[in-house]
Amino acid sequence: MSTESTRAPTRRTFVVEKVAAAGRWLTKSSVLAPGAIVLSGVAFVLCTLALNSGSEDKTSDWISAFATAFGAALTGGALLVAALTYRHQVDEKIRLAEDNRKAQARAVSVSLKKTPGNEKMLQLRVANNSTLPINSVFLVLVDKQRKESYQEPYHLMVPGSEEGFDRPASVVGAAFANFIDADGRRWRSWFNGDLEER
């Protein structure tokens, strides 16, 4: 089995698949609606030309031409509204699916706090506040020069667990945790709440 087939889909792959699945109908509707409006205009023009050619009952011809053009325009407008509504629904479903994908990763937090009783030390902590375990967790210290200066591994963190270490405040610039969620996706959670898929 190749490693490519076991790899979790990326965000881009996920979104592209959803858009491709819904996009075929949306593309047809987006073309049909303006096309129907244009055709209604053409029908109106042709009916006007026909009326000017000398028919005897012009009033009924005008009413018929106007009704035909108006009906075609309404049909085109309805198709356009349906296409836009469908597109909005597809976008909303994609957004909800993306939120669900990130739900566990957002529940993993990294914090920097002063150590109680020692103002010169900071506590670096990673907490799994989700309902599922995370694994391959590395809590990483970034120093003032923005270099990764220390990391501590925690191979598995069960729901509700917290791990960490203390370091002198003078050397701490930032902190983040790398981890793999229950679905096999790799994430980086920063102390300021930023979240990156890796």
Whether residue 113 sits in one domain with residue 39? no
End position of a domain, from candidates 50, 82, 104: 104
Q: What is the structure's pLDDT at 1?
A: 40
Tell me: pLDDT of 7 over 50: no
Whether residue 172 sits in one domain with residue 83? no
Q: What is the structure's pLDDT at 123?
A: 94
Q: Once rounded to an integer, what is the mean pLDDT over residues 3-16?
A: 47
Whether residue 115 sits in one domain with residue 99? no
Whether residue 117 sits in one domain with residue 97? no
For residue 87, with 0-12 CB atoms within 10 Å meaning exposed, 13-18 middle and 19 or more buried, which class applies? Answer: middle
- The more confidently predicted of residues 25 and 88 is 88
Tell me: pLDDT of 66 over 90: no
Write out the H or E segment, with its range, that includes residue 178.
strand 174-180
Whether residue 8 sits in one domain with residue 97? yes
Whether residue 100 sits in one domain with residue 11? yes
Whether residue 169 sits in one domain with residue 153? yes
Range of the domain at 166: 107-197
Tell me: pLDDT of 187 over 60: yes
Whether residue 119 sits in one domain with residue 76? no
State the Rg of the chain over Cα. 30
End position of a domain, from candidates 83, 104, 125: 104
- What is the number of domains present in the chain? 2
Tell me: pLDDT of 17 over 80: no
- The more confidently predicted of residues 83 and 13 is 83
How far apart, in whole angstroms, are the C-alpha atoms of residue 49 and residue 44?
9
End position of a domain, from candidates 104, 120, 139: 104
Whether residue 116 sits in one domain with residue 96? no
CATH at 183: 2.60.40
Most confident by average pLDDT, 6-20, 43-57, 132-146: 132-146
40-62 tens-digit pLDDT:
667 667 666 665 665 566 667 66
- The more confidently predicted of residues 143 and 86 is 143
Report in angstroms the alpha-carbon separations of 48 from 42, 53, 127, 175.
10, 9, 74, 74
146-162 tens-digit pLDDT:
999 899 999 899 999 99
Amino acid at 43: A
Whether residue 118 sits in one domain with residue 100? no
Whether residue 135 sits in one domain with residue 45? no
Whether residue 111 sits in one domain with residue 96? no
CB atoms within 10 A of CB 69: 20
Please provide residue 10's backbone torsions phi and psi, each rounded to the nearest 5 degrees: -80, 170
69-125 tens-digit pLDDT:
777 777 777 777 787 888 888 888 888 877 778 899 999 999 999 988 888 999 999
pTM confidence score: 0.58
